[in-house]
Amino acid sequence: MYLRADSSKCTGCRLCQLACALYRFQENNPKKSCLAIVPDFPDPGVFEVRTCTQCGDCVEVCPVECILQNEKGAYYIDRDECIGCLDCVDACPEDVIFTHADYEAPFECDLCEECVHFCAYGALYIE
Amino acid sequence: MLSGYGGQVLRVNLTDRTIEKTELDPELAKDYLGGRGFAAKILYSEVEKGADPLGGGNKLIVAAGPLSGLLIPGAGKTTFAAKSPATGGYADSNMGGLLCAEMKYAGYDLIIFEGISSEPAYLFIDDDTAELRDAKPYWGQGCITVETALKKELGEDFQIATVGPGGENLVKFACISHDFGRQAGRAGVGAVMGSKKLKAIAVHGTKDIPVADMEEFRRIGREMYDYCRASDGWEVWYRLGTAGVNVPSNEWGSFPTRNFQSGYFEEIETLTGEVMRETIVITDKACFACPCACGKYSYSKKWDIHVEGPEYETTAFLGANVAVSDIEDVAYANHLCDELGIDTISAGNVIAFAMECFERGIITGEDTRGLGLSFGDSEAVFELIEKIARREGIGDVLAEGVKHAAEVFGGDSADFAMHIKGLEISGYESRNAPAMMLAYMTADVGGHHNRAWAITYDIEVGRDAITEYKAAQVIELQHVRPLMDCLGACRLQWVELGMPLDYYAPAMKAITGLDRSWEDLLHISERVWNLTRAFWAREVEGFGREWDYPPPRWYTEPVPTGPTKGKFVAREDVEKLLDMYYNQRGWDTNGIPSREKLEELGLDFVAT
């Protein structure tokens, strides 16, 4: 199971990020979301959506082997074991392992599907 | 900390370059909600009577609302407000995009700018850090250029608002620009920002916005989003945005054409939302957390430019009102206005006025330094936009707005100078829409449609009818729509998708923890409406009934063409509409709120 994005349908509204953070952290705070919207304006005037592809590169570099897979097959970081080295963040080819000053451990998409539900434009889908 | 709010106020004194951070007053939040409610209260209380709108005594207010930044459809509306340099009265202009959400994530509901900086500056906010920075390198540059540069310098996550040369040069309809094509366009808030030598605001925030009942808030938010997406209107609205209104408006005879000489543009076929979609739109672009993106981002091959839009108003004013029918020319004129930082509505209005004056011989080539001004001449439109923003030649007169231009040009030009209270009328020709005309006459910033889009009631109950019902509906709309500007959310989910208003009071309760009914919220909106009226009465010498009159064209000249041919609202009907309206509002026959009304609304501090 994968979270995919059709960037051509993204309107840059950031609702996915807001819904993500509300589900994951119970906070109104898109800076704590697990997917990225990268606007490119004024020229060419498009949005790029970046989601976790579950490539596993983060697992490879984790020195304490604290990146595990949940029942949906999504890699997640065990916060209790994470030492905050951020090697996974650097290794992520999509730049979708995120950090926030409130937490020592980074966080990544766990395939909760909340963003898919909220995106009105069909830019996000599960495959 | 107050639930639903960022919790803090930033007060920035540009004269002595101090920044004061205070807690948001819970009483202000309770009595005025946010957004334009905050703005009206602060302007009335803090700006001294008679202050020069472009002087250090005026204040520029930037305000979010309690819904801004939250999981509520369209909760991304920022209010900019000041004493208007265009009208001398109250002004607020609200803008979509991402700015107010970011302000709240940084912890601020309100930014108050005072004084005047000696050098160009911009306000930098990154969570708890707030400082004034040097903007000299950006002074003189366009809005889009500066936004691009600041994002490059500070990071993509910063949200930016800027003024362009229009604001710097104190054009009376200069706008404040954000997110590559969203503007607080009306009544000259950009000139106030420019007068303070404040080039930009840059905000980045990483904090949570607390809500009182998280579970209930998320349940209601989810329902509201599900409602929007399932609504019948979603598909068309999303496909065309506001430009979808071009054709119906023309069919109603309300599409301003040739300086409002008519409400019907015979070349509409090339200016429709569909044509735009097929020829220039490249990306659908939404404001914060909006499920029904009306923003259409376009690329014109003819001019090799990008622009957000043109949306309805811009198509009306830089299209039909100047009789330009090439959508790419409209897009280019839109691009020029956006980069130079002037309002497309007022710009298209004042340019059309100059064209009509030229065609009638009231002004000549001597006044325009040889520039011919004829309806339909795109090149003349482009040139005048540049001249206005830079105040060159006749542009210096036009930059003062259509009311002033009529005083300078003379003749009978005041009869077709299309403004109310000094603000150029926006995109609905109203000679066969008395409710809409009344909405314009009484809008609390001058000739603007967004306080009460009442033309739907004219269509519903008969175009010619002058009735108490229409006056009542205008008042109702003037409480509902501006309430959204207090809450910091967009009204279009309700207007266009039929979102039930029943959602908002429970949502506000879940968010703020205060149990208030919809009627309670409307009562606050009425309070704000009366307060802005009181601001006008205090600031404008002799303010009263005659300030609510439409331009003579609307009550003397029959529409010459189109479906409303022959129609106009006679002067006695204008008076009748005002009598009904004032009476229902509890105002005297001169349009001034009564002592009883002010006290009923908790406005005891207002002088009468």
Token digits for B434?
């008395």
Q: Could you tell me which chain B residue has the CA closest to the CA of A7?
A: B283
Q: Does A41 touch chain B (CB under 8 A)?
A: yes
Closest by Cα among B4, B24, B10, B107 to B65: B4
Q: Are B306 and B280 in contact (CB under 8 A)?
A: no
B388 and B457 part of one domain: no
Give the C-alpha separation, B515 to B293, whole Å: 31
Q: Are residues B538 and B412 in the same domain?
A: no
Do B405 and B433 lie in one domain? The reply is no
Count of positions (residues) in chain A: 127
Which tens digit of pLDDT belongs to each residue from A67-125?
A: 999 999 999 999 999 999 999 999 999 999 999 999 999 999 999 999 999 999 999 99
Domain boundaries, chain A: 3-126
CB contact under 8 A, A28 and B228: no
Beta bridge partners of B61: B81, B112
Tokens of B101: 């959400």
Is residue B218 scored above 70 in pLDDT?
A: yes
Whole-number percent of chain B with pLDDT over 70: 100
Q: Does B205 touch chain A (CB under 8 A)?
A: yes
Interchain proximity B148–A31, CB inside 8 Å: no
Chain A: residue whose CA lies nearest to B283? A46
Nearest chain A Cα to B106, which residue?
A: A29
CA of B280 vs chain A CAs: smallest distance (Å): 12
CB–CB contact A38 B156 (8 Å): yes
Distances (CA, A) of B100 to A101, B9, B70, B158: 22, 13, 11, 12
Summarised one tens digit per residue, pLDDT across range B268-302 is: 999 999 999 999 999 999 999 999 999 999 999 99
If we measure between CA atoms, which residue out of B437, B441, B456, B531 comes closest to residue B486? B531
**Residue A28 Cα, gap to closest chain B Cα (Å):** 5
User: In terms of domains, do B370 and B439 share one?
Assistant: no
CB contact, 8 Å: B299 with chain A?
A: yes
Q: pLDDT tens digit string along B367-387?
A: 999 999 999 999 999 999 999
Pair of tokens at residue B68:
């801004």
Residues B404 and B444 in one domain: no
- Same domain, residue pair B397 and B460: no
> Looking at the domain assignment, is residue B178 inside a domain?
yes
Domain of B146, CATH number, reads 3.60.9.10
pLDDT digits (tens, 9 = 90+) for B403-436: 999 999 999 999 999 999 999 999 999 999 999 9
The whole-angstrom distance between A90's CA and the closest CA on chain B is: 18
Q: Is B291 near chain A, with CB under 8 Å?
A: yes
Contact across the interface for A120 and B234, Cβ inside 8 Å: yes
Rounded-to-10 torsion of CA B546, B550, B551, B554? -140
User: Rounded distance, CA A125 to CA B48, Å?
Assistant: 55
From B186, B204, B222, the end of a domain falls on B204
Length reported for chain B = 608
Q: What is the pLDDT of residues B295-348, one digit of tens each?
A: 999 999 999 999 999 999 999 999 999 999 999 999 999 999 999 999 999 999
Q: Are B405 and B373 in contact (CB under 8 A)?
A: no
Based on the domain organization, do B563 and B492 belong to the same domain?
A: yes
**CA–CA distance, B309 with B315 (Å, rounded to integer):** 9
B465 in contact with chain A, both atoms CB, cutoff 8 A: no
Cα B400 to Cα B298, B383, B422, B455, B513, distances in angstroms: 30, 17, 10, 29, 46
From B225, which residue of chain A is nearest by alpha-carbon distance? A118
Nearest chain A residue to B293 by CA distance is A11
Pick from B285, B287, B288, B299 the residue to mutate for testing the A interface (most A CBs within 10 Å): B285
In chain A, which residues have their Cβ closer than 8 Å to the Cβ of B289? 13-15, 18
Backbone CA torsion sign across B574, B576, B581, B583? positive
Nearest-angstrom CA–CA distance, B165 and B138 = 10
- The answer to whether B330 and B271 are in contact (CB under 8 A) is yes
Taking contacts as CB-CB distances below 8 angstroms, the residues of chain A near B306 are 41-45
Domain end among B395, B417, B439? B417
Give the CA radius of gyration of chain A.
Answer: 14
Residue A50 near chain B (CB below 8 Å)? no
Query: Which of B187, B195, B171, B193 is closest to B60 using CA atoms?
Result: B193
Asked if the Cβ–Cβ distance from B180 to A11 is below 8 Å, we say: no
Q: Give the structural domain span for B107.
A: 8-204
CB A15 within 8 A of CB A37: no
- Would the CB atoms of B205 and A31 count as touching at under 8 Å? yes
| CB neighbour list of residue B508: distance below 8 Å, 6 or more residues apart | B4, B66, B67, B487, B514, B516, B521
Interface contact A31-B295, CB threshold 8 A: no
* Cβ contact A28–B209 (<8 Å): yes
Q: What is the C-alpha to C-alpha distance for residues B234 and A90, in angstroms, rounded to an integer?
A: 41
Task: Report the residue of chain B nearest A30, measured CA to CA.
Answer: B206
* Residue A107 forms contact with B (CB below 8 Å): no
Contact A50, A35 (CB under 8 A): yes
What is the mean pLDDT of the segment spanning B504-508? Answer: 98
Q: Which residues of B touch A103 (CB under 8 A)?
A: none
For residue B556, what is the domain's CATH number?
A: 1.10.599.10
Mean pLDDT of B155-181: 98
Question: Which residue among A28, A45, A46 sits closest to B208, beta carbon to beta carbon?
Answer: A28
Contact call for A41 and B225, based on CB within 8 A: no
Asked if residue B221 is part of any domain, the answer here is no
All residues of chain B having their beta carbon less than 8 Å from the beta carbon of residue A101 are 206
Q: Specify whether the backbone of B170 is left (phi greater than 0), alpha (psi in -120 to 50) or beta.
A: left
pLDDT at residue B129, as a whole number: 98
CA pair distance B320, B348, nearest whole angstrom: 9
- In sign, the C-alpha dihedral spanning B136, B140, B141, B143 is positive
Instruction: Provide the strand spans (E) within B401-457.
Output: 419-420, 423-424
Of B205, B234, B282, the CB nearest to A45: B282
Tell me the chain B residues in contact with residue A99 when contact means C-beta distances shorter than 8 Å. none
Q: Do A13 and B287 touch (CB under 8 A)?
A: yes
- How far is B601 from B606, CA to CA, in rounded Å? 11
Q: Do A70 and A111 contact (CB within 8 A), yes or no?
A: yes
Pair B443, B412 in one domain: no
Say whether residue B499 is in contact with chain A using an 8 A CB cutoff. Answer: no
Please report whether residue B209 resides in a domain: no
CA distance B479 to B443: 11
For residues B53 and B201, what is the distance between their CA atoms, to the nearest angstrom? Answer: 20
Helix (H) or strand (E) holding B357: helix B344-359
Q: Do A22 and B299 touch (CB under 8 A)?
A: no
CB proximity B224 to A under 8 Å: no
Q: Do B445 and B525 reside in the same domain of the chain?
A: yes
Domain boundary (B417, B437, B455) is at B417
Q: How many C-beta atoms surround the C-beta of residue B573 within 10 A?
A: 16
Q: What is the pLDDT of residue B607?
A: 74
Name which of B147, B158, B284, B339 to mutate to probe chain A: the one with the most chain A Cβ atoms within 10 A of its Cβ.
B284
Q: Give yes or no for A40 touching B (CB within 8 A).
A: no
Q: Chain B residue closest to A40 (CA)?
A: B156
Q: For residues B308 and B314, what is the distance between their CA atoms, to the nearest angstrom?
A: 11
Q: Which residues contact A124 (CB under 8 A, 6 or more apart)?
A: A3, A4, A5, A6, A16, A35, A49, A51, A115, A116
Q: Which of B71, B180, B287 sits opposite A42 (nearest CB)?
A: B180
Q: Indicate whether this model's pTM tops 0.90.
A: yes
3-state helix, strand, coil in chain B (%, to 5): 45, 15, 40
Question: Kindly report the CA angle at B182 between B436 and B309, in degrees rounded to 5?
Answer: 75
A-facing residues of B in 135-174 (CB < 8 A) are 144, 148, 156-157
Contact at CB, B225 and A120, closer than 8 angstroms = yes
CB contact under 8 A, B218 and A22: yes
For residue B120, give how far its alpha carbon lies from the nearest alpha carbon of chain A (Å): 24
| Confidence band, pLDDT 50/70/90 cuts, at residue B591 | very high
Of B208, B225, B288, the CB nearest to A29: B208
- Residues B398, B524, single domain; the answer is no
B608, pLDDT greater than 70: no
Q: What is the CATH number of the domain that holds B269?
A: 1.10.569.10
| ipTM for this prediction | 0.98
Q: What is the DSSP string of B189-231?
A: HHHHHHHTTEEEEEEE-------S-HHHHHHHHHHHHHHHHHS
User: pLDDT digits over A10-62, tens only?
Assistant: 999 999 999 999 999 999 999 999 999 999 999 999 999 999 999 999 999 99
Rounded to whole angstroms, how far apart are CA atoms B276 and B453?
Answer: 24
Q: Is the domain of B347 the same as that of B450?
A: no
Domain tally for chain B?
3
What backbone phi and psi angles, to 5 degrees, belong to B12?
Answer: -110, 115
The pairing of beta strand B90-95 with beta strand B121-126? unpaired
Structure-block tokens of residue B604: 């005891």
> Do the chains contact at A27 and B208, CB–CB below 8 Å?
yes
In angstroms, the first-to-last Cα distance of chain B is: 36
For B78, residues 6+ apart whose C-beta sits below 8 A from its C-beta are B35, B62, B63, B64, B68, B94, B95, B96, B97, B99, B100, B103, B161, B178, B184, B488
Does the domain formed by A3-126 have CATH 3.40.50.1010? no
The residue type at B376: G
Same domain for B57 and B121, yes or no, is yes
The answer to whether the CB atoms of A11 and B218 lie below 8 A apart is no
